[in-house]
Each structure stands twice: as C-alpha cells, then as structure tokens.
C-alpha cells in the first residue's frame, strides 16, 4: 500500500507545548483562587490522562477533601478549563512554543510530494488553531486535509475515534496512513485504527510505554526521517503483513 497521508498529533508532537499547558493550568488555578499548583513531576504523571477536562477531573477525584467539596470542585471543571484555554492562547500568541525539530521540514516534503496532511489533536479546536498558526505559519491550517480535535469525538485517545474520523474525512485507507505521536495513548489510538505509527517522545512522555509503536526515536531529526524513508518503512510493514 502506497503512503497517502501523514497524520500528526499536535501537543507534544509538532511542538513541545506541555510546559505552556502547565503554566496555563496554574495561572487558571490562581485566577480562580483554587490554591493548586502543578509541579513538573506531578504534571508529567497527569499527562497519562488524555484531555484537559479529564485531567482536571482525575486530579480532583484524588483530593483529600469532603465529598460535598469534591462535588463542588468537579462542577467547576468546565469553567476552569475555559479559563485555562484562554490563558494558553495568550501564552502561545506570545511565542512560548516553537516547532519540534524536523516537523516543518517533513510537512513541506509531504506537501511537495502530494501526500495528504492531517492533525489528530487531544486538545480543543481553539488550542489547535492557536498553536499551528504560531509555530508553523499563520496560514498553516490550510495545509491539512483534515483536522480532528478531542471536542469532536465521543472518546479521546487511546480510543481510535480521532484517527477513524480523520481517515474517513481524507477518504484514504487506514493502512495507507502514517501517524506521528509523542504519547503512549496516542500510539495506542493510532494502532487501534490500523495505522503505521512513529513515536517521537518529548521530555514529558519519555518514560511512557511505546512498545506498540512501529518506530521510536527522539525526534524527526534524530536520525533524520525524511518522507522517502517513512514511505519505505511503511511499505516494508505492508509487505510483511501481506
């Protein structure tokens, strides 16, 4: 099966945004007088839960507070996340994130070769639009034949819903696509949807289990993964499966 599409995760994959997310969460906690502060180690553990609202709910479920207070805090999750998203947008607009090595190069190679591009994001549509415009190009959203965000599907990663939605929108077979992810949940989602999957862990996800990925390396430039090599790896997998 010939390679027809590259599908990129967003946060952590096209840019190392997790520190910006952590800062935005903490700023939202301060603005709402919650008295919480997520340190790096704690946030790294929380990243095993996909999705900002789900991460907040998981954190609240583990707080040592009375049941009534826990219920009250759980009810605040949508408001907390809206404030966090607003603050994240401000931080990204201020240039707090840059594209990870090799991302723009590979996307441009795909565009030149007629290989379709898509984004499969665990974050919201607003976050995706802010990040892509800031770290790639103000008009970069036009590069992608499909963009699916967590707020558009019933189940988040590791469920395969995002990838199935994208494959359907692109109108290409799943086994003609390659996914690029930075988290274990993302890898599981892509594999469950039938995609060849490359993992480029960030410092936030490096300790996660990437045993299900077809290829794991520190970034798209370590060693350099160009479109021709990805196509060859993808073709080799298809040959073995035949």
Whole-number Å distance between alpha carbons of 29 and 26? 5
- The 3-state DSSP class for residue 213 equals coil
Q: Strand (E) positions, the chain?
A: 5-9, 116-121, 146-149, 177-181, 196-199, 215-216
Of the candidates 165, 105, 113, 121, the one whose C-alpha atom is nearest the C-alpha of residue 3 is 113
Active site residue 16: no
Whole-number Å distance between alpha carbons of 237 and 74? 45
Whole-number Å distance between alpha carbons of 108 and 165? 24
Name residues whose C-beta falls within 8 Å of residue 56's C-beta, 6 or more positions apart in sequence. Answer: 77, 80, 81
Whole-number Å distance between alpha carbons of 122 and 157? 7
Whole-number Å distance between alpha carbons of 115 and 226? 13
Active site residue 9: yes
The residues carrying an active-site annotation are 9, 11
């Amino acid at each position: 099966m010939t390679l027809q599409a590259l599908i990129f995760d967003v946060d952590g994959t096209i840019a190392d945004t997790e520190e910006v997310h952590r800062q935005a969460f903490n700023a939202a906690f301060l603005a709402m007088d919650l008295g919480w502060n997520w340190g790096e180690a704690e946030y790294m553990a929380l990243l095993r839960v996909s999705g900002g609202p789900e991460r907040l709910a998981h954190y609240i479920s583990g707080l040592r507070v009375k049941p009534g207070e826990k219920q009250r805090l759980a009810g605040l999750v949508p408001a907390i996340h809206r404030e966090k998203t607003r603050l994240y947008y401000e931080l990204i607009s201020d240039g707090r994130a840059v594209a990870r090595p090799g991302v723009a190069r590979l996307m441009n190679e795909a565009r030149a070769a007629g290989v379709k591009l898509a984004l499969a994001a665990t974050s919201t549509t607003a976050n995706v639009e802010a990040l892509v415009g800031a770290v790639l190009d103000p008009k970069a959203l036009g590069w992608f034949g499909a963009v699916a965000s967590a707020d558009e599907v019933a189940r988040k990663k590791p469920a395969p819903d995002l990838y199935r939605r994208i494959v359907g929108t692109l109108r290409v077979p799943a086994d003609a696509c390659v996914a690029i992810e930075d988290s274990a949940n993302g890898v599981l989602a892509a594999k469950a949807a039938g995609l060849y999957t490359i993992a480029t862990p960030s410092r936030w996800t490096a300790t996660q289990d990437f045993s299900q990925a077809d290829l794991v390396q520190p970034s798209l430039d370590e060693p350099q993964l160009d479109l021709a090599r990805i196509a060859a790896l993808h073709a080799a997998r298809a040959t073995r499966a035949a």
